[in-house]
A and B are shown apart, each in its own frame.
Chain A
Amino acid sequence: MNKILFSSLSKKFVMALAGLFLLMFLPVHLIINLMLLKSDPVPFNRAAHFMATFPVVKIVEIALIAAILIHISWGIFLQIQNWLARPVGYAGGNKSETSFFSRFMIWTGASVLTFLVLHFFNFYFIKLGLVPGDPENFYSVAHNLFKISAYNYIYLICFVLLGLHLFHAFSSAFQTLGLNHRIWTPVVKVFHRIWTPVVKVFALIYSILIPAGFAYISLTLWLFR
């Protein structure tokens, strides 16, 4: 059983599932964050309070933390194996045509990780009571952070890099889960012809819109408030 659970394919399977779960969470997070743009702190704080206390959300939160931990640990583990698989590199370089951002997943991922650590200190750990701060007023915590230029720079850079991570992540996850060109039923048979372009276009829209949304909040609060 261990051999199955820890084979290269299973690791990628779990990683892709965890990644897809994170992909679903990002829009939810963005929608809540858009309430930061209101001058009234109540809606945002109410939403944050709901996320912190509602039992169903609590379960999702545990799943989310697990997904982040699994995605990161398997990501780093697999990457180390990948480096070890080619101890001597090529003097003539590697000029093969590839999906461009796939080459930098570990680096774009690592920058997201840096941001996550910062983010956990700024918000999540306040909620857990590990760091001083008022968990009932994340609105002002956020607004204060966005007044710091350095924070905005880090924020913006990390979200651009997240976008690059997501662009490859999307189609990669479909391929890993074996959903690339699968013909399930006659209905999907029609659909499968346009499947790959649909995934690609969706990935592109998603990986631009989500980071752009977060960046919009950062820029507005930083420069125009």
Chain B
Amino acid sequence: MKLTLKIWRQKNAKAKGIFATYKMEDVSHEMSFLEMLDALNKNLVGEDKDPVAFDHDCREGICGSCGMYINGHPHGPVPAVTTCHLSMRYFSDGDTIWIEPWRAKPFPVIKDLIVDRSAFDKIQIAGGFISVNAGAAPEANSILAEKKKSDKAFDSSICIGCGACVAACKNASAMLFVSAKISQFALLPQGRIEAKERVRAMVEKMDELGFGNCSNTGACEAECPKQIKLTNISRLNREYYKAY
């Protein structure tokens, strides 16, 4: 199929960016979205032009680095997939595809489609861990965890920190991400010990970094490739109020 791509090009963090238009001939339906961009870059390199910079690593939906904003949706219009898992069969001949980086003050653009997501790392570092002595793995059954709760904790822990929730939110709020990170610990006995300090520190860091506030609009839940639920945000709120 033939495609027209409108891609955000920006030389570096300081430069002003613009949308560049690229025509693609014979894109296969079997390609993944990133393979389609690889093909574009191959053409660009052949023409001695600067290839489009985009972030990617695992290409199997687990590292969270491949985020880009495609036709009005983070990770494209298909629910519950990352960009690397987005198949070109969802697009049709003659389509125009708008490809933009995440837009949020705490995620500045580094180059083209790559943004600096280290704000998420800073939130994690503020409290997204449990303090245990390193060494031999402890006996697994010495602390019992309720099955239902550990299942929920697992569902929250699969957040890959991709930032699609921030990108989708009209307020660029990081609440879904933070709530997933809070929930995965808050639901388990090991996480309860530092629960109060954790939630205070992570929320404080989130505010400090300039993310927006939660309006409970639900765009994050709709776009999250790992289907993290809004109920996590409700739990985050509860955990926060309980901490005082």
Contact = CB atoms under 8 A, between A and B. Distances in A.
Interface of A: 3-4, 7-9, 11-13, 78, 81-82, 84-99, 102-103, 105, 168, 171-172, 175-182
A176 B222 contact: no
A4 B203 CA distance: 10
Interface of B: 6, 8, 19, 69-74, 77, 98, 100, 103-106, 168, 170-173, 200, 203-204, 206-207, 210-219, 222-223, 230-231, 233-238, 240-241, 244
B136 to A, nearest CB: 36
Contacts of A91: 6, 8, 19, 98, 100
Given A85-B104, A92-B100, A103 B241 contact: no
A12 B105 contact: no
A3 B204 contact: yes
Contact of A96 (B172, B216, B222, B234): B222
Q: Which of A92, A105, A179, A182 has the most CB of B within 10 A?
A: A92
Q: Which of A9, A78, A99, A102 has the most CB of B within 10 A?
A: A9
22 contacts: A7-B207, A7-B240, A8-B213, A9-B240, A9-B241, A13-B241, A81-B171, A82-B173, A82-B212, A82-B213, A84-B210, A85-B105, A85-B210, A86-B212, A92-B6, A99-B217, A102-B217, A102-B218, A172-B216, A178-B237, A179-B234, A180-B231
Nearest to B237: A178
B72 A90 contact: yes
Contacts of A12: 213-214, 237
A136 B98 CA distance: 63
B105 A8 contact: no
Contacts of A8: 203, 206-207, 213-214
Nearest to B200: A4
A169 B231 CA distance: 17
Contacts of A175: 216, 230, 233-234, 237
Nearest to B244: A4
B215 A105 contact: yes
A102 B216 contact: yes
A180 B104 contact: no
Contacts of B237: 9, 12-13, 175-178
Contacts of A177: 237
Contacts of B215: 82, 102, 105, 172
Given A8-B203, A95-B73, A182-B234, A89 B105 contact: no
